[in-house]
Amino acid sequence: MTALRIERLDKRFGGLHVTRDVSLALQPGDRLALIGPNGAGKTTLINLISGALAPSAGTIHLGSRDITRLDQAQRVRAGLARTFQITTLAQHLPLQRQVELALFEREGLTGRAWRSIDGYPALSDEARFILGSLGLGAVAATPTQQLAYGEQRLVEMALALALKPSVLLLDEPMAGVPKGDGERLLSALDALPAQLAVLLIEHDMDLVFRFARRIVVLAEGAVLADGPPDAIRRDDRVRAAYLGH
């Protein structure tokens, strides 16, 4: 079954046509990168998929479910998770607690007293496993504000994974991350669950071509090209519109 399918998605802001008849699909386990020049409509498309924006036309399916009219919270519960260009973490909470809170939300336990988290050892164990899988086990008790920015981007990924999504949207995970932390981030991406479908927006072409098994290129809100990395690299239209060589 297809993990995510969008069909003929359109978005207009008055007379401005930002997303133009975009269709694409992700299968379980896909590693898809969405690239394009500034103003191509990449973030708008992610906002449409995640529910931050409502489409002017078109449909979005998560698995077999039509989620076009669901709000963001409903989409998360249906299995869609997203990270953002700018981190929005609780700076004073230890990583372990933040992931536990995300697990509490997933399990529908947030109506209970906050201190009752410690009464759910299975969730604490799961939080430790998620942090460990991203190389954050050694800093699980550390408040976010004490972490390097690259590590904070990994915490965002941990919070998304805590929701057990079927589809993960990564919005420029390398934004603001020092070059020295890039390999660590790439290692974390390589360690994501094999069946998880991942849609990545990224300007770092080294990361894109190392991570993606398929690349979609947007230009002026429309799909310019869709194919494996080698084909995209050789595509004259893509070279002229974006890659610049």
More confident residue, 180 or 64: 64
In angstroms, the first-to-last Cα distance of the chain is 38
CB 155 within 8 A of CB 66: no
199 in Cβ contact with 136 (< 8 Å): no
HSE-up of 227 (CA within 13 Å, CB side)? 10
d(CA 185, CA 126): 21
Q: Residue with structure tokens 């975009």?
A: 22
Q: What are the tens digits of pLDDT across the range 86-135?
A: 456 677 889 998 898 888 888 877 665 555 677 788 889 999 999 998 88
Phi/psi at 187 (5° precision): -60, -40
Sign of the Cα pseudo-torsion (124, 73, 91, 134, in order): positive
Residue 191: is its pLDDT beyond 90? Answer: no
What's the confidence (pLDDT) of residue 115?
53
* 190 pLDDT above the threshold of 90: no
- CATH of 4-243, picked from 3.40.50.300, 3.30.1490.100, 3.40.50.720, 1.20.1250.20, is 3.40.50.300
The pLDDT score that the predictor gives to residue 88 is 60
Closest CA to 71 of 88, 46, 54, 83: 54
pLDDT digits (tens, 9 = 90+) for 42-93: 999 999 999 999 999 999 999 999 999 999 989 999 999 998 654 566 778 8
pLDDT at 243 over 70: no
Quote the pTM value. 0.88
Residue boundaries of the structural domains of the chain: 4-243
**Res 116: pLDDT:** 67
Distance CA 107, CA 91 (A): 24
176 vs 114, residue with greater confidence:
176
- The residue whose two tokens read 């399990």 is 107
d(CA 169, CA 161): 11
Model confidence band, residue 5 (pLDDT cutoffs 50, 70, 90): very high
Average confidence score pLDDT of the chain:
88
Q: Which pLDDT does position 172 carry in this prediction? A: 84
